[in-house]
A and B are shown apart, each in its own frame.
Chain A
Amino acid sequence: MAIMMPASDQAVLDRRDAIVAALRAIVPGEGVIDTPAEMLPYESDGLMAYRQPPMVVVLPDTTEQVSKVLKYCSEQGIKVVPRGSGTSLSGGALPLADGVLLGLGKFKRIREIDFDNRVVVTEPGVTNLAISQAVAHAGFYYAPDPSSQIACSIGGNVAENSGGVHCLKYGMTTNNVLGCEIVLMSGEILRIGGKSAENAGYDLMGIITGSEGLLGVITEITVRILQKPETARALMVGFAEVEAAGECVARIIGAGIIPGGMEMMDKPAIHAAEAFVHAGYPLDVEALLIIELDGPSIEVDELIKRVEAIAQGCGSVTCQISTSETERNLFWAGRKAAFPAVGRISPDYLCMDGTIPRGALPKALTRIRELSEKYGLGVANVFHAGDGNLHPLILYDANKPGEMDRAEAFGADILRCCVELGGVLTGEHGVGVEKRDLMPEMFSEIDLNQQQRLKCAFDAQGLLNPGKVFPTLHRCAELGRVHVHGGKLAFPDIPRF
């Protein structure tokens, strides 16, 4: 494991039996798991290169139990790692050897569907897709659609601020959640927001969303639901050069068109996907765009025409337009299966997740090609082109000595390149352990200290999910100190009125 996790507390490990007994008193029966064999499924999440058995797994099924577990751990100085479905691609739910792994999988009830207020109140263990399914009969859905939506939990979506193919038009998780019930590390239960568009006071829901399980444990969530667009159609457009595809994306946006989704794949990704799902992708193009337009059919038909003209103006060499739902789904099938498709052509792959300004796409792809040669590892690129979110898949073989380290170094260089081009380290997968040590590439120590102070406002002992997001941990007392500069001076050198 290339990333160092916080040192284990031997005093906690020595008390393991007593801790397990105490947790059993709070969560009876099968809710506490402490044998190595049964804990095996919890050793890692979607970032499978990293594994660590937890000290013990606890699966509460009421908010009261969550509160008591956290209160007990807080009093005993025991670390806690929350977990939803365990699909994080950044290691957000990676356990700690001396930590309690707190699984929310038993919170799988939708508590209320309120069509008049257009919200669903749900427990955090409900899957993303299950929310859409529960409201589909009335024509509604929940908009954010991460690729893992069959499996990933809504609680995990809130923790990671998950995105998906359609977030260009419909926003990420943070734009679609209104409230939650959250348990702080102290055991205190709070309700933030609700069915109103905004909550009172500071936007605490906004800061909890995307906090990667470091601020509290969510036990209930209120999400917005939307009416499904009347119809959706997609174009599949091939280009002989990546630059032309990039230009096409810029011109579509520049023309004031916000597609429901706009995805790009490069040649290696196209070939891998086509071999896997036979979607009819053109194999002799350098870049393929899938552009989906949704809304009333009269609007979609008009926008399809406009987008087709823009694509031709950018020198497209192939253009197919879906005429049925079957065909539209086929266009998407290859893109949606891109990760497993790449898994077939390479023993292992690393999925990266940087965002760049859209205009920097050709530069980024050139740089990735150069890095691919430098590291001697293949790469396939899939790309949420509409919002600049790049997913290079680095191909490697973990059984070959040194290849995993090389792949990780390659990935780190790609993310550094994203930051250099004016972008960011992660667009939707989160920092977790995976990108933790790259945070200084984007943030100064002052920036990171301010974020950690906020963490202190929620969890002053730093017991909740430590070792994630922040490369260096500071004590809250140290972070909170105000350094007085220059004594009791009047305001110097500033124009006055």
Chain B
Amino acid sequence: MNEKTIAAAKADAPKADDAGRIISVAILAVGGQGGGVLTDWIVSVAEANGYRAQSTSVAGVAQRTGATIYYVEMCKDTGRQPVFSLSPAQGDVDVLIAAELMEAGRSVMRGFVTPDRTTLITSSHRIAAVSEKIAPGDGRGSSDAVLDTARKAAKTLIAFDMERMAVAAGSVISSSLFGALAGSGVLPFSRESYEETIRASGRGVAASLRAFGAAYDRTVAGAEPATAEAEPDVRGTDEVAGAQGSPALLFGWQELVSRTRALPRPAHDMALAGLRKVVDYQDLAYGAEYLAGLERAVALDDEGHDHALSITAAKYLANALCYDDIVRVADLKTRASRSARVRREVGVDGETVLRVTEYFHPRIEEVCGTLPAGLGAFIEARPGLSRWLDARLNKGRRIRTDGLFGFTLLWGLAGLKRWRRRLLRHRVESAHVGTWYDLALETAPADYALAVEILACRRLIKGYSDTHARGLSKYDRVIGALPMLEGRQDAADWLRRLREAALKDEKGTALDGALQTVASFAMPESGAA
């Protein structure tokens, strides 16, 4: 993805006879990424090639997991000591190495990357900052936006996932960054001298050289496209191959799949994904219920709107039907595929002794939800009894699913699936889903876009326990704004804004603000009163 070719970068590289020229290299990293090692390597390779070099850093507490910067200057050794600068300056950096994509963005913002001069070498992987992680929705910055600006700001941009490359080679990112630097040809040193530097450093040499070589080759080849890690396509286009089971089950599945084919083409993929989820969650009959619900939306839909209503319904109806209850969690945690995934993530084979502990904390609400509807409702109607039971039930339970007792317990709970439709939680959820879905479909004839947004508000309901309750209350508050919006041209737009505000923070402060805005224009009379 080298925007301008490596050959061009090489042509611009300082020449050997460019004796008095100082070359500056700045390294931006997240504390703990090993920027110090890379800095030492760069100094070593420069010195080995007859250069004088100076490096500086800002070690200290300010570095702990925060953004940090290292700096190297070098100049061909003429026998005289050059005066090097101790820190990078705007417009005065030849090579900027960023060990994470947003740090590349930061270096551009700080003016260290300029189109007349700077070769920007960055890993395209992301390490999310705390502020990005704590949003209840998706709080992450856009990698594409950052790459796009970086490309404009740099003379040459070299960007690919150097972290993954390093881990694959059993090394750390400093090795692959060093490889990309060598491959870029921006410093007048041979590949061999870089490699010799790694060898001389003495630790984990083989793995470092592997990562170095992979990044070097990749930089020189400059082959792959320049997007941030692309989102792969939806899988499962071959519907039946994705499912295994008895002939009877497969026959039923095929029947349902063929019903999705009758849906408008643009809704196929989402409907199939939804169907898969619902059948996996419960059974074929539940899948049929899902399709019946979906077909109601399709009946109201038309091509004029690109089938947005159908697609949105396909997505959120599936999610709504698959509410998270104890049975589902127990089911997911006892599957063979799950055991395999845990071992894959930990990086051990099937033979290794692996102890797996699950963290559960059921409250009376969850227990009641898992009881037959009548019994559950009976208990919930009696606060004293509920409290008494909760005091006995409500505590953390650590369950060993590698052990027979723990596994069998969860396996048994997962078996309750058969009776799920009779449990209290199902009654509650079905009623809620029904109200929401009816509301959306009833709105559709009058305001199609608003109906789509109502469907999408289902996104707000997620999580367990308090988190679930908080999501539900946000949903209620957003939907509660509908009377203020109905009939307005921009009703859909406002509902979307409310939903987005609700996903911004945990307490709903942004949502409160947005609701006040809506109230101010929707009810000017009461506002004036």
Same complex for A and B? Answer: no
Which A residues lie at the B interface, using CB under 8 A? none
Residues of B within 8 A of A (CB): none
